[in-house]
Amino acid sequence: MVADQDTKTGLPFVSIINKRTMTGTLSSESGRFYIEAVPGDTLEFSMLSYTSRLFTVPSMSSTHDIYLQKRLFDLQGVNVKGKNYHNDSLAMREEYGRYFNYKKPGAVDVLKTLPANPITALTYLVPSKARKRKEEFKEQLVYWEKEKYIDYRYSPEVVEKMTKLQSPELDSFMLKYRPTYQFLNSASEYDLLLFIKQSFEEYKKSKAEK
């Protein structure tokens, strides 16, 4: 498990990279993860706002908890504002750029590579575990980015202002009526507020019927 150094709670969406194979994965919501490695491999654990950590896989098979330390920032003279999704997204794409930009080799890649390096070209035609892991990791990163976008627009502050609900009821409402990425990606602010209003009307109606 990978966890916060101070709270000892699991950290979700931590990037774990095997430096030898350059394959990676993300930790689950509880901080648990699985990655293929052999003794001597170096694993890199990184997450925004935390100091990256390297871990060498020991010779004997065992489980290890990895703790990450939060990075401290000097906020003196700085106006602290709410999270900016666009900045977070750009930072994540910069950090994991090689995975976001990864494209599965196609027929064009084979034809381009064939004259100069036929062996490499042929490997493009054979299923590869490493390529599959990169594709899966990219899918995880894209999923995480979409979830952060939903959190950015469908925030507790906005929903609370529209519904006057307070936690924990607010949390339950937001989870039950959480909008999809597809909807939010094309919805205006008016569309979102109308969605929350209509969802709240439905919520009150279903609550009264119980």
Exposed/middle/buried for residue 90 (C-beta within 10 Å: 0-12, 13-18, 19+): exposed
Q: How many domains does the chain have?
A: 2
Any idea what the CATH number is for the domain that residue 9 is in?
2.60.40.1120
Asked if the structure places residue 105 within a domain, the reply is no
Domain limits for position 43 = 1-70
Tokens, residue 68: 């990450």
pLDDT at 144: 76
Tokens, residue 84: 């900016």
End residue of a domain, out of 14, 40, 70: 70
Taking only the tens place, the pLDDT of each residue in 14-27 is 888 999 988 888 88
pTM above 0.75, yes or no: no
Asked if the structure places residue 38 within a domain, the reply is yes
Asked if the structure places residue 82 within a domain, the reply is no
**CA gap 173, 37 in Å, rounded:** 42
* Cis peptide, bond prior to residue 168, ω within 30 of zero: yes
The secondary structure of 141-178 as a DSSP string is HHHHHHHHHHHHHS-HHHHHHHH---TTHHHHHHHHTP
Asked if the structure places residue 95 within a domain, the reply is no
Taking only the tens place, the pLDDT of each residue in 136-188 is 766 777 777 788 888 888 988 889 988 999 988 999 999 999 999 888 888 88
The closest alpha carbon to 66, from 17, 32, 22, 95, belongs to 32
Asked if the structure places residue 180 within a domain, the reply is yes
End residue of a domain, out of 70, 90, 120: 70
